[in-house]
Structure 1
Amino acid sequence: MAPTLLPVEDFDAETDCNKIRAAFSGVGTDEKTLIDVLCKRSHDQRMAIAKLYKTMFGKDLVKDVKSETSSNFREVMVSLCNSRANFLARICRNAIRGAGTSEGALINVLVGGTKQDIAEIKDAYTKKYKKSLEEDIADDTSGALKHVLVSLLQGNRCEEGVSHEQATKDAKELFNAGKGMWGTKESTFNKILVSRSPAHLKRVFNEYRTIASGDDIENAIKGEMSGDTKNAFLGIVRVIKDAEMYFAEELYKSMKGIGTNDDKLIRLVVWRSEIDLAEIKECFKIVSKGKTLEDFISGDCSGDYKRSLVALC
């Protein structure tokens, strides 16, 4: 995996704290300094800055950033000042709160998160909001989608290798639960897609094509399911097949057409910048037919918001 945001050499947390504090002094805020510091430091370096900032000035960095910035630029800066677990827990909380539930955000985080990510998100969520993420999701979603999300939250995906015999059996079960029957048995898809190892599922998908006379598991999901349940299962399949391409497609969808899904754009750029954004950017050029991620961001965003996202790329 290739991140775009790397640790800076000769890191000095005290110097960075003084730069940030100076950016908040006087009339207005020096947004360029905030971008130069927070968008060019690794997660561990930013956490060291946040900790020392409170020691040096007796103030919380997140609260100061919130009060000194606004709109989407503030969301980027606040996201960078939070630990990764708190950042992802906050995304889940915002997805659940308010009118309706933003299932797309939950699907992105839970489908794209590792077992360690999910354990840390659940712990951070409980500490920050004094509630269980699993209970909140169960209360705010329903049907097959609820079962998928709750299953993903368990973080119990097998990490063992591939069994050809079991892969063939799983592929037959998936076919019989979808195209091979009247209606769809989502519980079978849930059981197999959430619990099996990525290497095993890749074999299952290949076996499925043989059983289904060349048809792909994605086409079965698209044809047999709808709405957020369909998107959740498609997300799982696409992450297993090619996670970087999945996130490139999600980034493209956040900016395609009229308007921008800023929540999704910020979430994915900040999150993946320290994991695999360099590879996602290469996939993005394929999805967008040659345009770079930076080109799209520059066309859809403006001002310090645009500059902060481009800096993370």
Structure 2
Amino acid sequence: MAKIHDILSQVCLVDDDAGAGATVKAFVNFNAETDATELVRAIKTKGVDEHAIIDVLTRRSNSQRQDIAFAFERQMKKKLEDVLNSALCEPLKSVLLGLLKTPAKYDASEVKGAIKGLGTNEATLIEILCSRTNKQMQDLCRTYQEVYKKEMKKEIEGDTSGDFRKLLCALVKGSRSEPSNVEDMDLIDTDARELYEAGVKKKGTDVGKWITILTERSIPHLNRVFGRYNSYSCFDMIESIKKEVTKDLRNNFVGLVQCIQSTPEFFADKLSLMLTAKGDLKKDVLTRVMVSRCEIDLLYIRKEFKKKTGKSLHQCLTASTKGDYQRALLALCGGDD
């Protein structure tokens, strides 16, 4: 039982009910009316008081921000989202509008953005669909339907093809087995052997078999499978993927396995890559990771980031961003390590 608990505490594809990894938590002396009044003042101030807006919205939990938005609309007779959309500039606007959405609505808007128009942002789809729990995925699908009046799975099917489509559709089901305190050693061995026989052992790769096992089994089970896999193959799971899977699908499978092994490490790698990049993509990814993980596991991501880069996330954000955008991201970061 202790072993199961240790694994669950490290892998954030399972729910972190205690919020131990969150850098943004519920404000203790919360008053929605008071916060709404402060936002009204900040917006009516000549030139807009961005600092006040940032300080309120980055220091409240998502449910508290929903209450603030309701109170603001009652006071101003306008939606807070619409007012901020007109009053603020990018990239700060994307951070604060993202914080105002529920997690499911934010994910839905990011998925929609990844598949609309010409081309598909595969990296965004993999980042979101690989890292969400069953409940988060079910909430996402339901919210997507409510907001866009279309089924997310069908939209993804229409915008993708081949094995990538099969992988995404399997993830969208949100039907991964839940963790159990009973170890099925026979199934662990069977899955490890089948992954080996479907890949390294044969000519070509049975991608369908890999998809089935990697998207349907529980996270603790799969981590034991990966350990057992090493007794069949001289390559670990990620090395096997890099050897066996074609270039178009390789990064997607690697991302999935990384999320299974450690969601915080997956996001730490992503942040490390983005903080050395340039352009709009950098800001898009930084914003999405900071907004979507600050109430889940950003504290764990910070620790993995420091371990990998030798620098704190706070230091790197300070060096690579500026202005009000920097102020907002550092508030979500929650401190230096």
TM-score bracket for this pair, using the shorter chain length: over 0.9
Q: Give unmatched runs, 5+ long, in structure 1.
A: none
1:81 to 100, 104, 125: 100
Secondary structure at 2:24's aligned position in 1?
Answer: coil
2:119 to 97, 100, 103: 100
Is 1:172 the counterpart of 2:193? The answer is yes
- Following superposition of structure 1 onto structure 2, how do residues 236-255 of structure 1 map, counting pairs within 5 Å? 236-255=256-275
Contact 2:179 2:219 in 1 (8 A): no
Over 3 Å counting, the alpha-carbon distance change for 1:25 and 1:160 in structure 2 is closer
2:224 to 203, 208, 212: 203
- Aligned partners of 2:87, 2:143: CA distance in 1, in Å? 25
**Identical aligned pairs, as a percentage?**
34
1:129 to 148, 159, 182: 148
Deviations 1:212-232 (A, max 9, x none): 13x201100111124452222
Count of residues in correspondence between the two structures: 311
2:210 alignment partner in structure 1 = 189
Contact 1:164 1:203 in 2 (8 A): no
Aligned structure 1 segments of 4 or more residues deviating by more than 6 angstroms = none
Of the structure 1 ranges 2-11 and 161-170, higher mean CA displacement relative to structure 2 is found in 161-170
Of the structure 1 ranges 298-307 and 224-233, higher mean CA displacement relative to structure 2 is found in 224-233
Amino acid at match of 1:68: A
Secondary structure at 1:71's aligned position in 2?
Answer: coil
Deviations 1:106-143 (A, max 9, x none): 11111111111111111111111111111111111111
- Aligned partners of 1:154, 1:208: CA distance in 2, in Å? 26
Over 3 Å counting, the alpha-carbon distance change for 1:257 and 1:50 in structure 2 is closer
- Aligned partners of 2:123, 2:230: CA distance in 1, in Å? 28
Is 1:284 the counterpart of 2:300? The answer is no
Amino acid at match of 1:170: D
- Aligned partners of 1:151, 1:92: CA distance in 2, in Å? 16
- Aligned partners of 1:240, 1:2: CA distance in 2, in Å? 17
Contact 1:202 1:240 in 2 (8 A): yes
- Aligned partners of 1:308, 1:144: CA distance in 2, in Å? 39
- Aligned partners of 1:207, 1:53: CA distance in 2, in Å? 55
- Aligned partners of 1:26, 1:5: CA distance in 2, in Å? 27
2:6 alignment partner in structure 1 = none
- Aligned partners of 1:263, 1:142: CA distance in 2, in Å? 25
- Aligned partners of 1:35, 1:227: CA distance in 2, in Å? 41
2:50 alignment partner in structure 1 = 31
- Aligned partners of 2:296, 2:267: CA distance in 1, in Å? 12
Contact 1:245 1:283 in 2 (8 A): yes
Contact 1:104 1:228 in 2 (8 A): no
- Aligned partners of 1:7, 1:228: CA distance in 2, in Å? 42
Over 3 Å counting, the alpha-carbon distance change for 1:292 and 1:160 in structure 2 is closer
TM-score, reference length from structure 1: 0.96
- Following superposition of structure 1 onto structure 2, how do residues 1-313 of structure 1 map, counting pairs within 5 Å? 1-161=20-180, 162-213=183-234, 215-259=235-279, 261-288=282-309, 290-313=310-333
RMSD between aligned residues:
1.3
Amino acid at match of 2:214: L
Amino acid at match of 1:268: V
Contact 1:8 1:40 in 2 (8 A): yes
- Aligned partners of 1:195, 1:228: CA distance in 2, in Å? 22
Q: Give unmatched runs, 5+ long, in structure 2.
A: 1-19
- Aligned partners of 1:173, 1:310: CA distance in 2, in Å? 45
Deviations 1:251-272 (A, max 9, x none): 1111224556111111111111
Secondary structure at 2:311's aligned position in 1?
Answer: coil
- Aligned partners of 1:134, 1:37: CA distance in 2, in Å? 36
Deviations 1:266-311 (A, max 9, x none): 11111110001111101001121x1111111122211111110011
Contact 1:103 1:228 in 2 (8 A): no
